[in-house]
């Protein structure tokens, strides 16, 4: 009995492994992860110290705010929408935080003001998009100009942040085994990432997000709460933008009207490179994390080289974005 069962096991597992192929929806994420590993391998072979674990941790330290921003953008793009306002909301959040702290507000009150402001802007944008049937591109473009204008209304000059609570949090570090360290902002970003992944994959809200992105008309026919989802994802994006703004304020210890110019494009690029379809209905938060790390790795590559212009970062991101969009298009055509 035992010999026959072991024979079955010995023939079953190799057969399963030999014939296994990952589901098609995972292929873009796997491709991004493979490219990330390949770039790190190439960097470790070319540059001394590139493979140090602290270099990997520094990717999270330097891009914690972008990871939070990307999580919110993932929700929006999964429904087939777009949010061009996130960079301006980040800048507005830094201005609100810096100006309120300068006015003598407690740190907790300043944080609450920032989070409420971003959430309200996101919710209003979602309401306009759904109930007035305005294209997400136009609505988010309007909010982008509104938020950037409010920044200049607060101040045209940079406002330094000298609050003791903010500076201690910004300059703090979290020790890890092996003598490595990360900042508290990284822990915030990891929590946001985990919560976003849990909502998308373990809750009814998340499953409905995928359904709306796959086909909004079908979601209506199934009796799903499309209005709640469409408004909700922009509320989440606004909240994530405000939180990313707080992390960026901690990163720079300042509020400035010209902060985060073009950051919305970095967030969209990270989400798309991470495998989320621009047409909605397919994507994963973990892919967005890989996309953010990939963008950070490109910057690290250029920093280690020392001879390349910083513009090569934009060139590389543009090339990667074009490649992944073409791959997405080919995959969707095959399925059709």
DSSP type of residue 132: S
From residue 82, alpha-carbon distances to 105, 218, 253, 314, 318 in Å are 34, 21, 29, 21, 18
d(CA 317, CA 230): 29
Q: Minimal CA–CA distance to 276: which of 3, 20, 29?
A: 29
> What CATH class does 24-331 carry?
mainly alpha
Both structure tokens of 9: 């096991």
Contact yes or no for 250/169 (Cβ under 8 A): yes
Q: What is the pLDDT along the chain (336 residues), one digit of tens a residue?
A: 444 444 444 445 455 545 555 677 778 888 889 989 998 888 889 888 888 999 999 999 999 999 999 999 999 999 999 999 999 999 999 999 999 999 999 999 999 999 999 999 999 999 999 999 999 999 999 999 999 999 999 999 999 999 999 999 999 999 999 899 999 999 999 999 999 999 999 999 999 999 999 999 999 999 999 999 999 999 999 999 999 999 999 999 999 999 999 999 999 999 999 999 988 998 999 999 999 999 999 888 888 877 767 777 788 888 888 888 787 777 666 655
From residue 207, alpha-carbon distances to 22, 171, 196, 331 in Å are 21, 39, 12, 22
Both structure tokens of 71: 């999580």
pLDDT at 187: 97
pLDDT at 51: 85
Which residues, 6+ apart, have CB-to-CB distance to 130 below 8 Å? Answer: 226, 227, 230, 231
Helix (H), strand (E) at residue 42: helix 27-46
pLDDT at 123: 98
Q: DSSP assignment of 136-204, as one string?
A: HHHHHHHHHHHHHHHHHHH-SS-EE---HHHHHHHH--EEETTTEEE-HHHHHHHHHHHHHHHHHHHSH
Both structure tokens of 16: 């399963």
pLDDT at 13: 45
pLDDT at 15: 53
Terminal alpha carbon distance of the chain? 49
pLDDT at 9: 45
**What are the extents of the domains in the chain?**
24-331
pLDDT at 336: 53
């Amino acid at each position: 009995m035992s010999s026959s069962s072991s024979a079955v096991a010995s023939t079953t597992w190799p057969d399963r492994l030999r014939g296994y192929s990952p589901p098609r929806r995972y292929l873009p994420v796997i491709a991004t992860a493979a490219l990330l590993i390949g770039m790190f391998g190439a960097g470790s072979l070319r540059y001394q110290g590139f493979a140090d674990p602290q270099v990997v941790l520094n990717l999270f330290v330097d891009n914690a705010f972008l990871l939070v921003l990307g999580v919110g953008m993932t929700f929006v793009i999964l429904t087939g929408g777009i949010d061009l306002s996130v960079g301006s909301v980040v800048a507005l959040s830094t201005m609100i935080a810096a100006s309120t702290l300068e006015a003598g507000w407690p740190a907790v009150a300043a944080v609450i003001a920032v989070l409420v402001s971003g959430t309200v802007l996101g919710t209003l944008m979602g309401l306009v998009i759904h109930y007035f049937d305005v294209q997400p591109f136009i609505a988010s473009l309007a909010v982008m100009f509104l938020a950037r204008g409010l920044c200049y209304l607060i101040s045209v000059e940079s406002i330094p942040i000298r609050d003791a609570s903010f500076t201690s949090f910004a300059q703090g570090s979290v020790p890890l085994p092996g003598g490595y360290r990360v900042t508290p902002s990284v822990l915030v970003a990891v929590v946001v990432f985990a919560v976003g992944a849990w909502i998308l994959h373990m809750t009814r809200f998340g499953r409905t997000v995928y359904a709306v992105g796959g086909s909004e008309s079908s979601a209506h026919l199934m009796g799903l709460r499309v209005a709640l989802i469409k408004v909700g994802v922009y509320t989440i994006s606004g909240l994530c933008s405000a939180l990313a703004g707080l992390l960026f304020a901690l990163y720079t210890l300042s509020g400035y009207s010209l902060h985060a110019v073009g950051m919305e494009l970095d967030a969209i690029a990270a989400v798309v490179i991470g495998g989320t379809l621009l047409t909605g209905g397919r994507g994963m938060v973990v892919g967005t994390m890989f996309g953010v790390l990939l963008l950070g790795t490109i910057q690290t590559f250029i920093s280690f080289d020392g001879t390349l212009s910083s513009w090569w970062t934009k060139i590389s991101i543009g090339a990667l974005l074009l490649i992944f969009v073409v791959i997405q298009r080919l995959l969707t055509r095959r399925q059709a």
